[in-house]
Amino acid sequence: MTDFKELKQFGSEAVNPEDSDKLITETGVSFRDRVSNIDKKGNRIWIYPKKPKGDYTKWRSVVAVFLLIFMFVLPFIKVGGRPFMILDIFERKFIIFGIVFWPQDFYIFALAFLALIVFVVLFTAVYGRIWCGWACPQTIFMEMVFRKIEYWIEGDYKQQMALSRSGWNANKIFKRGLKKTIFILLSFILSNLFLSYIIGIDELQKYMTEGPAEHFTSFAFVILFAGAFYFIFSWFREQACTFICPYGRLQSVLLDKNSIVVAYDFKRGEPRMKFKKNMPEDAGDCVDCGACVRVCPTGIDIRNGTQLECINCTACIDACDEVMLKVNKPKNLIRYASELQITESTKFKFTPRIMAYSVVLLLLSGLVAYLMFNRSDIEATILKVKGTMYQNTETGVANVYTATIINKTFEPMDFSLKLMDIPGTIQIIGKDHLHVPAEGLTDATFILELPRKFVTGTRNNIQIGVYSDDKLIQTVNTGFTGPAPGMK
């Protein structure tokens, strides 16, 4: 966070003791006691950000279009007739990049999730909230879809404010009606897209053709989420980032003085001064035009330092660059920079904290990759039936087992069970072999009989091979109970 003491000497408005919005501590360090979009009485301040334009906005739009296409196309992609991506939380079945994950694979998920958290922490420590500005779905939909529609229908911030103040005339009814209709339609599409990630695009198409009465629960889900999306993008807006998102709240513990954030170069900018023909020599580069504040979708003044509400959307960089060009000053008064880069003109440092995070991240990623690539498509579990004893037969000793075989592939498979390195017989009850459907599992009970001379004690370790097309797929170790030596 920027040291407000330093700003104080430049007369930053953030430390104006007269300003009742700020609390001043004994040390003279000041801070706000409420977020930017709430007034002193606790009422919401509706933010009308000016339409941003500039190089960063252009590149962010390109990235957003790419991500939106990716997001909308992904549910339609199939590999070998199967979805490329399904996140079925209800059936606990996940297909990620064409690979099926079962509940049995959740340990990989847990580790991958842990790696993701470390990645987020590391990434934030180094690059601040770059994710929020460039890739977060909330920012992309809010700033690149819904906000752009709003600019298109209602005009830039001044027209929007005027429309808001005006009475309900034909113009306002038409513009608001059109905007809300498009927002509702978009929210409905988004909700369907969301559902397609859970149940798959084929199921969704089936539900649509068969109608809501046939699939009432799914229809209710779509309506509920469409309502939630409409509420967020039409009314709740930046509050999702400032009140709800835990990532934004965590940034104060994740960022340090080396983190790259959207920052105002107060060394260069202060003392700020309104632009006039003959500027005094000691004037900073900031001409106090307020352009950076006007474009901010969360309603903050980046000149007061890094703040909770800043989603690193870069709109203020573009706005200030435009002003700098007009007043013949170098660009980048607001730019991506760390606090140390600004205060001490230092270069980026690879701190011990970043080093430690990187090592943990490397180890976790390596482990996840190893587990992913060595994950078996077939998983067999063989257990002795609980509470059963051995049985003496004419030729030997028998135990009863249950076998569960999971087939994670997209093809049905047949399996047989064979004893490894020991003579004996396996008789599956009620069937000759085990047929397991694609992406399915089969349970079976079987009797395993060993010749008496191979049963050497009460507990014998044996290995059972699981074969498919005479190919050994998996070897399962299990126990075999027999009579104590000397007993029959």
Q: Which residues contact ligand SF4 (rule: CB under 6 A)?
A: 262, 264, 269, 272, 286-292, 295-298, 300, 302-303, 310-316, 319-320, 323, 333-334
Geometric angle at alpha carbon 270, from 264 and 273, rounded to 5°: 115
For residue 192, the minimal CB distance to ligand SF4 (Å) is 30
Nearer to ligand SF4, 64 or 287 (CB): 287
Nearer to ligand SF4, 138 or 402 (CB): 138
- The angle that helices 170-199 and 201-210 make with each other, rounded to 10 degrees, is 120
For residue 310, the minimal CB distance to ligand SF4 (Å) is 3
Q: If you count them, how many residues does the chain have?
A: 488
- The CB density around residue 418, as the number of other CB atoms within 10 Å, is 14
For residue 52, the minimal CB distance to ligand SF4 (Å) is 8
Nearer to ligand SF4, 286 or 466 (CB): 286
Rounded Cα distance, 42 and 238, in Å: 16
For residue 294, the minimal CB distance to ligand SF4 (Å) is 9
Nearer to ligand SF4, 142 or 380 (CB): 142
DSSP 279-316: --TT--S-----HHHHT-TT---GGG-S-TT-----HH
Residues sharing a CB contact under 8 Å with residue 242, sequence separation 6 or more, in sequence order: 35, 36, 37, 248, 298, 308, 309
For residue 242, the minimal CB distance to ligand SF4 (Å) is 10
Nearer to ligand SF4, 187 or 312 (CB): 312
- To which H or E segment does residue 201 belong? helix 201-210
Nearer to ligand SF4, 112 or 323 (CB): 323
Query: In terms of Cα–Cα distance, which of 246, 259, 222 is closest to 126?
Result: 259
Query: In terms of Cα–Cα distance, which of 177, 206, 160, 193 is closest to 68?
Result: 193
For residue 122, the minimal CB distance to ligand SF4 (Å) is 21
Nearer to ligand SF4, 184 or 308 (CB): 308
For residue 285, the minimal CB distance to ligand SF4 (Å) is 7
Mapped to the 3 state alphabet, what secondary structure does 130-195 carry? HHHHHCCHHHHHHHHHHHHHHHHHHCCHHHHHHHHHCCCCHHHHHHHHHHHHHHHHHHHHHHHHHH
For residue 218, the minimal CB distance to ligand SF4 (Å) is 37
Nearer to ligand SF4, 100 or 287 (CB): 287
